[in-house]
Amino acid sequence: MADSAGSSRPSSTFDFVIAANRLPVDRVVDEDGNVSWHRSPGGLVTAMESVMADRDGVWVGWSGEAGEAPEPFDEAGMRLHPVPLSEDEVQAYYEGFSNDTLWPVYHDVIVPAQFHRKWWNVYREVNERFARTLAEVAAEGATVWVHDYQLQLVPAFLRQLRPDVRIGWFDHIPFPPVELFAQIPWRAAILEGLLGADFLGFQRPGDAGNFLRACRHILGMTVKGDVIHVGKVTGGHDVRAACVPISVDFRSMDELARTPSVRARAREIRASLGDPSLLLLGIDRLDYTKGIRHRLKAYEELLKDGSLDGADTTFIQIATPSRERIDAYIDLREHVEGAVGRINGNYSAIGSPAMEYLHQAYGREELAALYLAADVMVVTPLRDGMNLVAKEYIACRHDNGGALLLSEFTGAAEELREAFLVNPHDIVGLKRAILDAAHASPQERSRRMKALRRRVRRNDVQHWAGAFLDALEAAPNKPVRPVRKPTRDHTHEEH
Ligand code: ADQ
């Protein structure tokens, strides 16, 4: 940690800096009003912990609560540096531009995108604030890893402030074809924002290809292979855009699923549903990209035409609450809950529900037990950057049992070729694939699962983080301007 005595906050700078919309912790207030921070579950935090373990690192992000930001603090083995967002900014930058403009455009416009100039202006301001904070906490020559679609302007803002640092950006969601991306009124500014980075990582080769094409078509840039020569944006540097698919912490999930308590809980889950002969499982954020409506339609038809027996089959759908103030999410929830009620009303028997629907978040143990209990994991997104649920299911199936039904439109489908692959728009094909997966012989399931487990074990989340950082390190760009100390005395703007 390098001291910077004399400056106001922060009192130190770091060699390794992560920027993500959210900090990796959630604020918890107990009955007596005491505040504590709990580490958020999830692979990204685990991956970053392993990367941070032998580095001097800080994570810059929003705390999840509107208003003043808490002072920087240590948690989960790293320094956390909160960025403030006002209630208006949460609505315009996060719920608005990130989740109601970019999210639908980047996911094939499954629902119409909303374009509002005010949202864009606030998105820009918040990105600039993130960049200023990063410029303050990054040590000379630091590596800065920026995450996801909420922070696409950060690379260029940061490069202007700190040409000495090495900047990487990773896109967790798809990058859309240029025909869709071109709808965004601020498309050129977004590309220019990203091109401030040295290396841009994407989930699929197709996403990187879409980005490269957008640079050619919209900005008229010269692209050679996977390198873009950025002439006019930041004074001439090269940016590489390539595919580095994210994964899960295979070893820790595998270990967790082997514990006696998780195995016992898996048996208990089946018993509590009347020991159905077929247990199907879906685990998703309640998001229209995840294809929940399509899978319920296929399931309902299978019950209706008698291919499946509702008294002897249960479909557990865990739908984590998500973006609950956005209209498209409110509509989706109503539709899904209506379908679940109808399916249960028509096809359940007492003690043997045809569907179990839970709109709640769960701990890792419970998720591992669910994965272990399920005969068929149903993953049917209409578009998904990767889909970690599919990989978590594989990591938990140390028994080589279970079958993975996987949409072709997930990043995961590029790697997981031994899954039962489906086009979720094709309801007939989806119904057939559900039956194929349900009726596959134990030998067939085991053959597929062994191959899938080999792949995810090798390409785990630690491998992903290492590959990203190696690519960033090897990126073609070198700082082109004289190294200059960041300004440390600017105050954070309040909006
Ligand atoms: P998401 O769209 O959130 O991620 P996904 O990759 O499936 O989708 O990750 C969801 C995570 O949340 C999984 O780790 C899962 O275990 C967890 N989860 C789901 N339901 C839960 C529940 N009820 N309780 C607790 N945890 C739950 C975005 C992109 C993806 C990409 C990831 C990572 O949309 O395409 O794979 O980022 O890059």
* Amino acid sitting at position 234: T
User: 222, 243, 264: which is the final residue of a domain?
Assistant: 243
The reported pLDDT for the residue numbered 488 is: 38
The reported pLDDT for the residue numbered 43 is: 65
The reported pLDDT for the residue numbered 477 is: 63
The answer on pLDDT for 379 being more than 60 is yes
The answer on pLDDT for 4 being more than 50 is no
367 in contact with ligand 1, CB cutoff 6 A:
yes
| Atom of ligand 1 lying closest to residue 381 CA | 35
Structurally, the chain folds into a number of domains equal to 2
Mean pLDDT of 250-272: 97
The CATH number linked to 229 is 3.40.50.2000
The answer on pLDDT for 390 being more than 60 is yes
The answer on pLDDT for 399 being more than 70 is yes
State how far the alpha carbon of 93 is from the alpha carbons of 90, 100, 114, in Å: 6, 10, 13
* Distance of CA 210 from the midpoint of ligand 1 (Å): 23
Per-residue model confidence as pLDDT tens digits over 275-318: 999 999 999 999 999 999 999 999 999 999 999 999 999 999 99
Q: Does a structural domain hold residue 6? A: no
* Distance of CA 43 from the midpoint of ligand 1 (Å): 9
Candidates 206, 202, 268; CA nearest to 239 is 202
20 in contact with ligand 1, CB cutoff 6 A:
no
The reported pLDDT for the residue numbered 15 is: 94
Residues 274 and 169 in one domain: no
Mean pLDDT of 215-225: 96
Per-residue model confidence as pLDDT tens digits over 51-109: 887 788 999 999 999 999 999 999 877 899 999 999 999 999 999 999 999 999 999 99
* Distance of CA 395 from the midpoint of ligand 1 (Å): 15
253 in contact with ligand 1, CB cutoff 6 A:
no
| Atom of ligand 1 lying closest to residue 363 CA | 25
Q: Does a structural domain hold residue 482? A: no
* Distance of CA 219 from the midpoint of ligand 1 (Å): 33
101-110, 206-215, 320-329, 409-418, range with the lowest pLDDT: 320-329
36-45, 75-84, 335-344, range with the lowest pLDDT: 36-45
User: 218, 243, 268: which is the final residue of a domain?
Assistant: 243
Per-residue model confidence as pLDDT tens digits over 445-472: 999 999 999 999 999 999 999 999 999 9
138: CB partners within 8 A, 6+ apart: 13, 14, 17, 144, 162, 165, 486
The answer on pLDDT for 397 being more than 50 is yes
Residues 285 and 208 in one domain: no
Residues 210 and 265 in one domain: no
89-103, 194-208, 222-236, 392-406, range with the lowest pLDDT: 222-236
The answer on pLDDT for 339 being more than 80 is yes
* Distance of CA 383 from the midpoint of ligand 1 (Å): 13
Read off the pLDDT band of 233 (50, 70, 90).
Answer: low
164 in contact with ligand 1, CB cutoff 6 A:
no
Residues 210 and 292 in one domain: no
Residues 227 and 277 in one domain: no
Read off the pLDDT band of 473 (50, 70, 90).
Answer: very high
Residues 427 and 306 in one domain: yes
Q: Does a structural domain hold residue 490? A: no
| Active-site residue set | 172, 384
Residues 239 and 263 in one domain: no
Residues 239 and 254 in one domain: no
Q: Does a structural domain hold residue 488? A: no
Q: Does a structural domain hold residue 74? A: yes
Mean pLDDT of 119-142: 98
User: 243, 261, 290: which is the final residue of a domain?
Assistant: 243
User: CA torsion, points 202, 219, 149, 291, in degrees to nearest 10?
Assistant: -70
53 in contact with ligand 1, CB cutoff 6 A:
no
Q: Does a structural domain hold residue 427? A: yes
Residues 79 and 226 in one domain: yes
Mean pLDDT of 169-186: 98
Q: What is the mean pLDDT of the chain?
A: 92
Q: Whose CA is nearest to atom 8 of ligand 1?
A: 387
Q: Does a structural domain hold residue 471? A: no
Name the pairing type of β-strands 57-62 and 78-82: parallel
Residues 230 and 260 in one domain: no
Residues 260 and 407 in one domain: yes
The reported pLDDT for the residue numbered 209 is: 98
Range of the domain at 47: 14-243
CA 7 vs. chain centroid, Å, equals 36
Residues 134 and 57 in one domain: yes
428: CB partners within 8 A, 6+ apart: none
207 in contact with ligand 1, CB cutoff 6 A:
no
Mean pLDDT of 376-402: 98
**Distance separating alpha carbons of residues 250 and 245, to the nearest angstrom:** 14
| Cis before 10 (ω within 30) | yes
